[in-house]
């Protein structure tokens, strides 16, 4: 095939190659390995499958090691690919603007995970403290052992351990530690400690009840998060629909990037659609987060 027909087939080949490259990058960077292993099972067998899986695994681990904590910089190569396909600098500008936005989102996501890990650590601390008290240890010694065994309180754990070791105000140290994100359950430990010291009530019994309450609260939060996972998936699918529509148009030979990036009407549609996309994502995220808070 030569002449105009061959020239017309070049954009489709370029778009197909870019789509294949993006899919491969997604499998390596984001995928958990199961779809890739399934594909390798269908396409190869025996030693070839093992070598291919090991090669992909080494490549993915190498990329993850280099990008650990800096995933937002992937916006630049993606924007560069779109800029090369659309022959415009606008995607590069959008990619540069997206880097700090994605960084902030990733930091908030990591902070939420850290808070959840700390909340689970408080539950584990209560369980360890109850076990040490029922084993016959003194409250101060039991608290030292529990803090050392859980190792989730960080600097707050050092202050609590110092108060327990040197005869300081343990409830006050626990209340101060409870002010940190994810450690609010320590306020209950401080209340149990204060009541046990003031009235002689059993500290182990109160902490056991507190552990049950905190565990039930964590279980309820996990169930709510599981129920809202479908809503988050719907938000993600709706966010990807414009990109999928653009890719489908490119596959059909319509060249939507050239229309969007090199014409006045296309630029107006692109800016308007981008603003509507951002507003829709913020609105949907706010609805889902309101459900989580409730």
pLDDT band at 9 (very low <50, low <70, confident <90, very high): very low
Q: Domain check: are 126 and 191 in the same one?
A: yes
Question: How far apart are alpha carbons 164 and 153 in whole angstroms?
Answer: 15
Q: Domain check: are 133 and 204 in the same one?
A: yes
Tokens of 254: 């319509």
| Domain annotation covers residue 253 | no
| Domain annotation covers residue 265 | no
What's the maximum distance between 2 C-alpha atoms anywhere in the chain?
Answer: 95
Q: What angle do CA 165, 169, 174 make, to 5 degrees?
A: 90
| Domain annotation covers residue 279 | no
Strand intervals (E) in 110-232: none
The domain boundary, picked from 188, 219, 250, lies at 219
| Domain annotation covers residue 196 | yes
Q: Which positions ≥6 away from 31 have C-beta within 8 Å?
A: none
Region 112-120: mean pLDDT is: 86
Q: Could you give the C-alpha distances from 27 to 20, 32, 43, 102, in angstroms and in order?
A: 11, 8, 16, 20
Instruction: Evaluate if residue 29 carries a pLDDT over 50.
Output: no
Question: How far apart are alpha carbons 149 and 84 in whole angstroms?
Answer: 54
Ramachandran angles phi, psi of 252, nearest 5°:
-85, 0
Residue 117 burial class via C-beta count within 10 angstroms: exposed 0-12, middle 13-18, buried 19 and up = exposed
| Domain annotation covers residue 260 | no
| Domain annotation covers residue 90 | no
**H-run or E-run covering 149:** helix 139-150
| Domain annotation covers residue 191 | yes
Q: Domain check: are 64 and 123 in the same one?
A: no
Helix (H, G, I), strand (E, B) or coil at 168: coil
Specify the number of domains making up the chain: 2
The domain boundary, picked from 187, 219, 251, lies at 219
pLDDT of residue 48: 52
Residue 157: count other Cβ atoms within 10 Å of its Cβ.
23
Q: Report pLDDT digits (tens) over 118-164.
A: 888 888 888 888 888 888 888 888 888 888 887 767 777 788 888 88
**DSSP-assigned letters across all residues of 110-137:** HHHHHHHHHHHHHHHHHHHHHHHHHTT-
Question: How far apart are alpha carbons 103 and 73 in whole angstroms?
Answer: 9
Q: Domain check: are 46 and 124 in the same one?
A: no
Give the residue numbers spanning the domain of 27.
1-68
The domain boundary, picked from 195, 219, 243, lies at 219
Helix (H, G, I), strand (E, B) or coil at 253: coil
| Domain annotation covers residue 9 | yes
Q: Report pLDDT digits (tens) over 166-214.
A: 877 888 888 888 888 888 888 888 888 888 776 555 788 888 899 899 9
């Amino acid at each position: 095939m030569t002449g105009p027909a061959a020239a017309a087939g070049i954009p489709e080949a370029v778009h197909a190659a870019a789509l294949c490259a993006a899919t491969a990058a997604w499998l390596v960077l984001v995928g958990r390995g199961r779809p890739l292993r399934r594909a390798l099972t269908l396409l190869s067998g025996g030693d070839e499958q093992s070598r291919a899986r090991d090669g992909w695994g080494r490549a993915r681990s190498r990329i993850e090691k280099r990008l650990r904590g800096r995933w937002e910089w992937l916006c630049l190569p993606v924007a560069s690919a779109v800029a090369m396909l659309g022959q415009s600098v606008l995607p590069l500008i959008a990619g540069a603007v997206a880097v700090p936005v994605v960084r902030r989102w990733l930091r908030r996501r990591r902070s939420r995970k850290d808070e959840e890990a700390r909340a689970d650590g408080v539950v584990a601390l209560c369980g360890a403290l109850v076990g040490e008290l029922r084993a016959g240890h003194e409250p101060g010694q039991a608290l030292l052992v529990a803090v050392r065994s859980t190792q989730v309180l960080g600097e707050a754990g050092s202050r609590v351990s110092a108060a327990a070791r040197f005869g300081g105000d343990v409830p006050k140290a626990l209340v101060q530690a409870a002010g940190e994100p994810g450690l609010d359950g320590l306020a209950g430990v401080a209340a149990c400690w204060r009541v046990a010291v003031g009235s002689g009530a059993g500290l182990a019994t109160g902490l056991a009840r507190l552990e049950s309450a905190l565990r039930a609260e964590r279980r309820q939060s996990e169930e709510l998060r599981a129920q809202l996972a479908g809503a988050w998936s719907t938000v993600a699918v709706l966010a990807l629909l414009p990109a999928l529509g653009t890719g489908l148009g490119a596959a059909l030979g319509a060249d939507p990037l050239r229309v969007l990036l090199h014409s006045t009407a296309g630029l107006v549609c692109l800016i308007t659609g981008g603003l509507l996309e951002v507003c829709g994502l913020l609105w949907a995220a706010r609805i889902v987060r309101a459900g989580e808070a409730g």
